[in-house]
Structure 1
Amino acid sequence: MTRLDAAWLAAYPLPDPGENTDKNARGRLLVVGGSLNVPAALLLTGEAAFRAGAGKVQLATVAPAALPLGVRIPEAAVFELPVNDDGELAGDAARAIADMIQRCDALVLGPGMGAEADAAAILAGLLERAPAAPMLLDAAMLTAAGDAGRTVQAHMGPIVLTPHPGEMAALMDCDPDDVGPELAEAAAARFDATVVLKASDSWIASPGSATLTYQGGGPGLATGGSGDVLAGIIGGLLARGAEPHMASAWGVWLHGEAGRLLAERSGRIGFLARELIPLIPRLMHGIGPGIGH
């Protein structure tokens, strides 16, 4: 077990975009999710991805929420997807998503999606059609991943899974009391994926890499929208070209340290997930050689 701290980050710096880069070279991220019950989840994920350095962000969500979302985040392109009778993404969205990802460097799938989304149909359609771009699965998509383990494992592109303890227990069909680093490693092996197990202590496990542990952030991060922010940070770093283990480690650290700073300023609990986002660039550029220089 390796501690995720400033020394590790300095040893594994993020890709340097260089002084003459443009927005296309910094990567294009597609974020898919949301619902009529949580129409602004992608606002958190999309802005976090921009703050993590992605050059372009595209958001795809249930059709009635698309226009209001686009007004709130003018930096992003926003696309409509079909909605089912429960106000969630419908299964026939998979074809449109597969077409969109052809023009992107990474995909975040799941923020803001609930249990009534046609997640299994969407994931199956994407795994059948999508190219080998990195794919982060969150929220309702984790349940779908658990039901499609062999198909997920066979996907040609890198996969990142970001469960909290309850989602991990469902993903691995185990008791929530069993959740810990060994289970993160078992899930990483089962799905041939990077697994970010989010808890009071977080673990990042990938096949062939040392498992990392992050101890920090505090209880204030246990709030609505916090996971959507983390997914956006990791997704933005994946789009920039960071490999999944590194992108996940940096994402967990940036998210946690932003929580720590807010706790120092305003108290251990009570800050909002959206308040984490403006702190990301400062933290990202303050650690290690080649970061922001």
Structure 2
Amino acid sequence: MTPLDATWLAEHPLPEPAADTDKNTRGHVLVAGGSQTVPGAIRLTGEAALRAGAGKLQLATVERVVLHLGVLMPEAAIFPLPANAAGELDNDAGEALCRYLGPCDTLVLGPGMGPDAAAEAILRTVVAEPRASLSLVLDAAMIGAATDLAAEIHAHDGRIVLTPHPGEMIRLMGCDAARIDSDPAGLAQEAARRFNATVLLKGPETWIACPREGLLRYPGGGPGLATGGSGDVLAGVIGGLMARGAAPRLAAAWGVWLHGEAGRRLAERVGPLGFLARELPGEIPRLLATIR
């Protein structure tokens, strides 16, 4: 087990854009998810991806809220996805989503999706045809949907990052809740092997596991990060770093550190509790500049 700290980051730098780069070469992120009940979640994810350095952003969500989201997030292109009667993404959303994937480097799938979304049907469609140029971050409802799709995810050759919190990890692995407390590191490594993916098990401390790579441990950014939308931001930071060209494990490690340290900075400035998830992305550029 290796501690994830400034020393590790200095030894494992992110790819840097050339001086003459443009928005296309800095990477193209598509964030898909949300619902009529939680329409703003993917706004948090999308902003975090841009703050992490991605060049272009698309957001795809239930068709009933796309206009409002487009006004809220003028930096992004906005695409509609079909919804069911509950205001969640329905079975046809996967096929619609695949039509938007062509120019994308990274897809972040799941933020803001609720229990009535057709998560497994959507994920099954999206992962059916692996593409070497596309990486994925699976978050929130997509974690549970991945349970029976290990072979399909495995076929993506390590280009997928899974971001479960303890409850999602229990469902993903079909394990007893006691395993989370007794062996979180071993559980994260087992999940990484099963899905051939980078797995970060979130909590007061975060474990980052990847097949054939050493286990990383981050001690945590403080209790203030246990707030609605915080995980959506983390998924976006990881997606933005992957779109920039960082390998999945490297992007996950940097993403966890940036997210946690953003929480620490806000705790010092605002207070240990009460800062908002939407305040986290603004800390990311300064942190990147500092560690660079």
Alignment of 1:96-245 (within 5 A): 96-129=96-129, 131-132=131-132, 133-156=134-157, 158-179=159-180, 180-245=184-249
Indicate the residue corresponding to 2:22 in structure 1: 22
Q: TM-score, normalised by structure 2?
A: 0.96
Report SS of the residue matched to 2:30.
Answer: strand
Query: Matches of 2:139 and 2:120 in 1, distance apart?
Result: 13
Contact 1:98–1:130 (Cα < 8 Å) also in 2: no
Indicate the residue corresponding to 1:265 in structure 2: 269
Contact 1:45–1:231 (Cα < 8 Å) also in 2: yes
Query: Matches of 1:155 and 1:235 in 2, distance apart?
Result: 16
Could you tell me which runs of 5 or more consecutive residues in structure 2 were left unpaired when the two chains were aligned. Answer: none
Name the CA shift for 1:89/1:253 in 2 (closer, same or farther; >3 Å): same
- Counterpart amino acid of 2:209? A
- Aligned length in residues: 288
Matched, 1:13 2:13: yes
Cα offset, 1:117, TM superposition? 0.4
Name the CA shift for 1:157/1:194 in 2 (closer, same or farther; >3 Å): closer
Report SS of the residue matched to 1:223.
Answer: coil
Name the CA shift for 1:163/1:221 in 2 (closer, same or farther; >3 Å): same
Name the CA shift for 1:65/1:85 in 2 (closer, same or farther; >3 Å): same
Cα offset, 1:285, TM superposition? 1.3
Report SS of the residue matched to 1:146.
Answer: coil
Query: Matches of 2:257 and 2:156 in 1, distance apart?
Result: 27
Query: Matches of 1:267 and 1:96 in 2, distance apart?
Result: 43
Report SS of the residue matched to 1:117.
Answer: coil
Cα offset, 1:175, TM superposition? 1.8
1:11-41 per-residue CA deviation (whole Å, 9 max, x = no partner) reads 1111110211100000000100000110000
1:28-86 per-residue CA deviation (whole Å, 9 max, x = no partner) reads 00100000110000110000000000000100000011110010010010100000111
Query: Matches of 2:245 and 2:212 in 1, distance apart?
Result: 19
Query: Matches of 1:157 and 1:189 in 2, distance apart?
Result: 10
- Counterpart amino acid of 2:116? E
Indicate the residue corresponding to 1:68 in structure 2: 68
Query: Matches of 1:166 and 1:25 in 2, distance apart?
Result: 37
Cα offset, 1:97, TM superposition? 1.3
Contact 1:36–1:64 (Cα < 8 Å) also in 2: yes
Q: TM-score, normalised by structure 1?
A: 0.96
* 4+ residue runs over 4 A deviation: none
Contact 1:161–1:196 (Cα < 8 Å) also in 2: yes
Query: Matches of 1:30 and 1:151 in 2, distance apart?
Result: 20
Q: Higher mean Cα deviation, 124-133 or 140-149?
A: 124-133
Query: Matches of 2:213 and 2:8 in 1, distance apart?
Result: 13
Report SS of the residue matched to 1:83.
Answer: coil
Superposed CA RMSD in Å reads: 1.0
1:99-130 per-residue CA deviation (whole Å, 9 max, x = no partner) reads 21121001000000011100111111112245
Q: Higher mean Cα deviation, 111-120 or 262-271?
A: 262-271
Contact 1:131–1:157 (Cα < 8 Å) also in 2: no
Task: Work out the percentage of aligned pairs sharing the same amino acid.
Answer: 61
